[in-house]
Amino acid sequence: MTDVIDSGAAYGRPSPTFDADLVQVGPGTPGGELFRRHWQPVAIATEVAQRPRAVRILGEDLILFRDGRGRPGLVYPRCAHRGTTLYYGKVEEEGIRCCYHGWLFDVEGHCLDQPCEAEGGRHRDRIRQPWYPAVDHYGLVFAYLGPPERRPPLPRLDILETLGDDEVLTNSQTAGLSGPLVIPCNWLQLFENVMDPWHVFVLHSSLSGTQFTSAMAVAPRVSWEWDGDYGMHSVQDRDFEGKLFRRITQVLAPNVRIVPSTQAGADPNAFGAATGAIWVVPVDDTSTTGFGVRKAPLGPDGKPVPLRGAATFEGKSWWELSEEEHQRMPGDFEAEAGQGPITLHSEEHLATSDRGVTMFRHLLRRHMNAVREGSDPPGSLVGPDATVHVEAGNFILEPS
């Protein structure tokens, strides 16, 4: 008999697993229930009109519309009568009318009319189309998919609460800095990238060329800090023209990312407090999108100055790259989706530079446990004063 030698061969390796609690978002899962205790954006408000839209969020398929009175409505697709989809419904002043037999539902699912029944349906009050609250906020439509009695206030960030005369809020659908609008992987492997500033030094600055700026390419000194019990931020210090360039990126549990401009040193507007946030929204366990809101200065033409922030690849956008160029100049999309539909936690070897990722997973578990035990998620996002102070930004300081 020969001794078994640990040769490192791929043959016979253990079956890989992921931590289901961390990644699942469906109803009844720890993560799904945490997400269902926070308002989540589902669309850009100006894109929600009378034409019904199919929306998939947290593993649920829903129909989003705006009634003739301007109220957003988010309802379960299968009509309470005989189940055809309200995707083919017609939106009216008071709600959405099913295409099949014309039952009319308002934005809270009340059945207002049953035209094939006597008197428009003598028992229509007994019918309720399942619905979720939806409201316009920061130029987005936010929805609350959780228990009605635990509905929190709408999320507010101090940087978005006051607008100067020459500023407006702008919105985008985006899950990251490059790649498609819906990314084919679990939300967490996208999101924890924000607490991983070391990848900027490698992925965005040397391995793939300079995707951001030379100021961002300097090796940082990195630390991480908690923000109350609702979030955390990373601090990245770099030397810059004899000064200290301090970059702070921030996350709020579970899924708000506040990342300042990546154009420090190239764009004069890149310094100062961060100007916006992105909600990274799970479509389901294996696909993810996001919605952003940003405070933009108005240009001389009276239009918001477009954001300079998307990574560039030898002057090309992500969409213009050939397969070979994606291999030669990978960015966030390739690194994150490249972990597979759901990353395999059993195969990871977390190191010192992953401390931010470890801390964030710990924070997430604490929030999931609080919800599982019947409490609200910890932190000011659900307190009476739901306005969060934003720490993130690019700051120039005197070296100490």
Nearer Cβ to Fe ion (105/191): 191
Q: Binder to ligand FES among 45, 58, 64, 98 (CB under 6 A)?
A: 98
Partner whose footprint covers residue 359, from Fe ion, ligand FES, none (CB < 5 to 8 Å by kind): none
Closest CA to 188 of 69, 343, 71, 66: 343
Q: Binder to ligand FES among 84, 173, 286, 358 (CB under 6 A)?
A: 84
Q: Binder to Fe ion among 332, 342, 359, 382 (CB under 5 A)?
A: 332
The nearest distance, CB 130 to ligand FES, in angstroms, is 14
The nearest distance, CB 71 to ligand FES, in angstroms, is 21
Partner whose footprint covers residue 332, from ligand FES, Fe ion, none (CB < 5 to 8 Å by kind): Fe ion
Nearer Cβ to ligand FES (117/284): 117
The nearest distance, CB 50 to ligand FES, in angstroms, is 18
Q: What Cα–Cα distance (Å) separates residue 103 from each residue in 20, 190, 390?
A: 40, 41, 46
Q: Is 173 in the site for ligand FES (CB under 6 A)?
A: no
Partner whose footprint covers residue 336, from Fe ion, ligand FES, none (CB < 5 to 8 Å by kind): none
Q: Is 81 in the site for ligand FES (CB under 6 A)?
A: yes
The nearest distance, CB 104 to ligand FES, in angstroms, is 9
Among 2-10, 34-42, 95-103, 293-301, which window interacts with ligand FES (CB under 6 A)? 95-103
The nearest distance, CB 184 to ligand FES, in angstroms, is 33
Among 63-71, 77-85, 274-282, 372-380, which window interacts with ligand FES (CB under 6 A)? 77-85
Nearer Cβ to Fe ion (84/339): 339
The nearest distance, CB 217 to Fe ion, in angstroms, is 13
The nearest distance, CB 113 to ligand FES, in angstroms, is 10
Strand order in the sheet with 140-143: 40-44, 140-143, 134-137
Q: Is 336 in the site for Fe ion (CB under 5 A)?
A: no
* Interface ranges with Fe ion (CB under 5 A): 332
* Interface ranges with ligand FES (CB under 6 A): 79, 81-84, 98, 100-103
